[in-house]
Structure 1
Amino acid sequence: MTVSLKHPSTSPLITIYMPTHNRLDNLKRALLSVQAQSYGNWELIIVNDGSSDGTKAFLDSIQSDQIRVFHNDKAKGACHARNTAIQAAQGEFITGLDDDDEFSPDRLEVLLSSWQPQYSFLCTPVTICKGSTQKEHPFFIGPISIESMLVINKVGNQIFCKTEHLREIGGFDEEFKAWQDYDTWVRFIERFGPGLKLPKSTYLQHESSSVSITRSPNRLKGFYQFLAKHEHLMDQKQRNAMKCWEHIIKGQWVPLRVLASADHAIFKYSFFHNIKRILGR
């Protein structure tokens, strides 16, 4: 596929969906990264999920033909917000952006120019940003099958795909307490086939070292929801991988017998989790 940057009207429209809740400064940074894209034919749909920090007034001031805004009077959750945008999307292709993250300036160009119809979606590695430190995570490059996804989330938190396909699987499951992205990608691959992870990082993921999501109660609830929904697809090796995740999320040792039976993709996560416990980190 050849991408026309000079004549964006002749190239496919790409929808970007972004939920936001009480993070106005981060939202502005994310917005700027979309506006800086080298590929011009995009629409951004921002769903304000009950913010009370001035987000509504700001979003109302920037609405345009290219930036559309929806408001929830009360917070209904990120999945509901994403689904609102997915239903309203007009683009042939769609991808997401969290309000505290950023796109690299060439993200849409890279994704569209790399599109291959034999894959159901594309994704890229992320660059983890902590303060002024940035570190690229070039993991799991190449095809992503349902078998490998049932061991570990090789995608991350965003894909680039046909909008109609994301609608067809019903978008994100609003009942999930956590692991919503993981659940969505598994359902997507199950329905439409393997995806492809490109080698170039085009997504900046900002993280705070002060908050631990791993051991939150919702993380464990989300894990059990995921297991209940998808265990019927798993073989024994994949179930062993889920046992590793359960121990990791609970902040427990991963038993050596479980560690030894784990797929190599989860083995290193489990192994380093145990090392951190030994070191008291």
Structure 2
Amino acid sequence: MNKQTALPLISVYMPTFNRATMASRAIDSVLAQDYPNIELLVVDDASTDDTWHRLTNKYINDERIRFFRQSTGQGACAARNRAIAEARGDFVTGIDDDDEFLPGRLTSLYQAYNDKYSCVCSGYIWDYGTIQKQLYASRQVVALPELLDLHTLSNQALVKRDRMLALGGFDTSLAAFQDYDMWVRVVQAYGPALRIATPTYKVNVGHELGRITNSPKRLDAHKQFVAKHRLHMSERNLQNQMFYRQSMQHIVLTLPQLLSSSRYGLVKLKWRYYLKHKLGVLSRWRIKLFSKGLSGLFKK
């Protein structure tokens, strides 16, 4: 038995839409993994440009990749669900078309996997363009109560394919928070998740800075998410979800509100949010520095 067949097949799903160049970067990061037994399922969500043509022609000779095309745009979640349904692997994990796997990601996740965990994820890197920030780069077993406080896992996790299928995959009725909802349901059904400390995934957000994050659509989706999981939420969870909603709306906390909210945990996060608004100008300069470097501070 060779090394490849001795290890289970991991299926990586990736939706894409009108992002041929970024999608190529994401695909290349998957193909560069040292885990030897993988397949990559790319679902084009009815791109209106030349994405389909460019990707299928570029990777036509790589048998590890299978391409699918939606006849009409149905959104990233429907694309992910199609890929999971078509997957042949024992395990599945995902990548967004503007992100990257770091070297050794799949090996690290597989080596950490144990059936006592519902899924395994890792710390990740938030790349602003000129500056990178590590997030959740600490090992932790995350149970449902902690996860309902805050999404402390990752957008992507390694999970048994049959578990995803049993839960019906990603909820296409949600306009946002689909990954958070997915891992909440996985943890609820199959037990705590494991997060390993090593960051193995890069989220590229430099091209998205300035995007409106407090849109009515996103706020409505958060309300829908809380209503969906309300039965399993404690008063602590509800208070922390309320804080998260306030942060999306950029609502300034008073000091008494901060002290009251801190009774429910997430103290460091809440103090950072409070100070960010107190030092608003410095905070805006910080984001500008992250995205454009020192020279960007002096440009409008």
TM range (shorter): over 0.9
Work out which of the residue numbers 15, 23, 27 in structure 2 matches 1:27. 23
Distance 1:175 1:140 in 2: 32
Aligned to 2:228: 229
Q: How does 1:172-251 map to 2 (within 5 A)?
A: 172-208=170-206, 210-251=209-250
**1:53 aligned to 49, 54, 62, which one?**
49
Question: In structure 2, what is the equivalent of residue 111 of structure 1?
Answer: 109
- Corresponding letter in the other structure for 1:225: Q
Matching of residues 8-87 of structure 1 within 5 Å: 8-61=4-57, 62-63=59-60, 64-87=62-85
Q: TM-score, normalised by structure 1?
A: 0.92
* C-alpha deviation, 1:9, in angstroms: 1.9
Deviations 1:227-258 (A, max 9, x none): 11011111111111111012111111235336
Instruction: Provide structure 1 residue ranges, at least 5 long, that are not aligned to the other structure.
Output: none
Higher Cα Rg: structure 1 or 2? 2
The aligned counterpart of 1:269 is 269
- The answer as to whether partners of 2:141 and 2:192 remain within 8 angstroms in 1 is yes
Whether the 8 Å CA contact 1:49–1:71 is kept in 2: the answer is yes
Q: How far is 1:74 from its partner?
A: 2.4
The equivalent of 1:254 in structure 2 is 253
Give the % identical residues: 35
CA distance change for structure 1 residues 147 and 213 in 2, over 3 Å: closer, same or farther? Answer: farther
For the 8 Å contact 2:171–2:182, the answer to whether it is kept is yes
Task: Report the RMSD for the aligned CA atoms in angstroms.
Answer: 1.9
Aligned with 1:161 (options 159, 163, 187): 159
Q: Matched residues in 2 for 1:265 and 1:40: separation?
A: 42
Q: What's the offset of the Cα at 1:101?
A: 0.5
Query: For structure 1, which segment, 98-107 or 208-217, has the greater mean C-alpha deviation from structure 2 after superposition?
Result: 208-217
Q: What is the identity, as a one-letter code, of the residue corresponding to 1:189?
A: V
Aligned counterparts of 1:201 and 1:257: Cα–Cα separation in 2: 34
SS in 1 for 2:120: strand
Structure 1 167/244 Cα, relative in aligned 2: closer, same or farther at 3 Å? Answer: same
**1:133, distance to aligned residue in structure 2 (A):** 2.4
SS at the partner of 1:199? strand
Change (3 A) 1:37 1:119: same
The DSSP-based 3-state class of the residue aligned with 1:164 is helix
In 1, Cα distance between the equivalents of 2:14 and 2:172?
Answer: 16
- The 2-side partners of 1:129 and 1:183 are apart by 24
Closer, same or farther: CA 16–213 of 1 in aligned 2, 3 Å: farther
Provide the rounded CA distance (Å) in 2 between the counterparts of 1:99 and 1:43.
16
Structure with the higher helix share, 1 or 2: 2
The answer to whether the 8 Å contact 2:138/2:196 transfers is no
In 2, the alpha carbon distance for the partners of 1:268 and 1:10 equals 44
Matched residue, 2:91: 93
Alignment check: 8 A CA contact 2:124 2:137 kept: no
Residue aligned with 2:15, SS: strand
| 2-structure distance, mates of 1:22, 1:270 | 37
